[in-house]
Amino acid sequence: MIRITIWNEFVHERKGGAASAVYPEGIHVALSRGLESHDFAIRTATMDEAEHGLTEQVLNDTDVLIWWGHLAHDQVSDEIVDKVHRKVLDGMGLIVLHSGHCSKIFNKLMGTRTCRLKWREADEKERLWVVQPSHPITEGIGEFIELDKEEMYGEHFDVPAPDELIFVSWFEGGEVFRSGMTYARGRGKIFYFRPGHETYPTYYSKDVLKVIGNAAKWAAPANTPVPVYGNAVPLETIKSKKETSV
């Protein structure tokens, strides 16, 4: 069974207003319930818990970490970011959602500072086109996912070129965006997925949840050989190439 930890800074939803109305128990709870139909062992963690809920034991028991943040990126401990970074390099999967593109962990893994982009909140229709239909992350999804209202993200998105481009979004205002991308860092697999502004019910969408569930299965650590580094003992007998002087 794949062990998933859903991390949410859990700030917007406690301030009142639209985010509280849409996700009264928090985005992490909505995601947890939405992913229950998959064969996952799910736990949640939030920023105000000890060690942001990401203790060494929790990370050791996590196959895939799902990350959502927005208002409090700068309040996340650098020590915790370093621990998560090491875990990803060692093979833990990471799914970064929506405004998590500005999180410390995503920027550290991407080698960028702010992962810049264009944005606009105007209740726009978003159509996420599947551009990699044979990829396991798109299993069970049609040609596109359509969301009636979402925040616009537009190009240029200041991230490294992805290993795989899975979704491209079109917005009612005319912009496009690379909305689903995969990366490999060390032994870890990373998936960035754009939808999920806190004032829209995006994380109740069956298609969006299906993509996140598929991505968790894809990103889970594989039972592959662990590379060995350092001074190596030869596998064969090495004959000396040095010439002896006469």
pLDDT at residue 244 in the model:
53
pLDDT band at residue 39 using 50, 70 and 90 as cut-offs: confident
Distance (Å, whole) CA 57 – CA 165: 33
Tokens of 155: 């190009």
pLDDT at residue 243 in the model:
57
pLDDT at residue 209 in the model:
98
pLDDT tens digit string along 44-63? Answer: 999 999 999 999 999 999 99
Contact 158, 142 (CB under 8 A): no
Strands (E), 47-187: 64-68, 93-97, 118-130, 144-154, 164-171, 176-185
pLDDT tens digit string along 15-33? Answer: 989 999 999 999 999 999 9
pLDDT tens digit string along 62-119? Answer: 999 999 999 999 999 999 999 999 999 999 999 999 999 999 999 999 998 778 999 9
29 occurs within a structural domain: yes
pLDDT mean over 219-232: 91
pLDDT at residue 227 in the model:
87
Please give the residue range of the domain that contains residue 20. 2-115+180-219
Report CA-CA distances (Å) from 164 to 87, 159, 211: 22, 13, 15
pLDDT tens digit string along 160-219? Answer: 999 999 999 999 999 999 999 999 999 999 999 999 999 999 999 999 999 999 999 999
pLDDT at residue 245 in the model:
54
CATH number of the domain at 61, please.
3.40.50.880
H/E stretch holding 86 reads helix 78-89
150 occurs within a structural domain: no
pLDDT mean over 114-126: 94
212 occurs within a structural domain: yes
Please state whether the predicted TM-score (pTM) of the whole model is above 0.75: yes
Asked if residue 246 has pLDDT above 80, the reply is no
DSSP 193-235: E----TTS-GGG-HHHHHHHHHHHHHHSPP--PPP--SS---S
Torsion of CA 131, 103, 212, 53, to 10 degrees: 170
> Domain count of the chain?
1
245 occurs within a structural domain: no
pLDDT at residue 204 in the model:
98
pLDDT at residue 223 in the model:
85
**Which three-class secondary structure state does DSSP give residue 20?**
helix
103 occurs within a structural domain: yes
70 occurs within a structural domain: yes
DSSP 140-177: T--SEEEEEEEEEEESPP-SPPPSEEEEEEEETTS-EE
191 occurs within a structural domain: yes
DSSP secondary-structure letter at 76? S
pLDDT at residue 242 in the model:
64
DSSP secondary-structure letter at 244? P
154 occurs within a structural domain: no
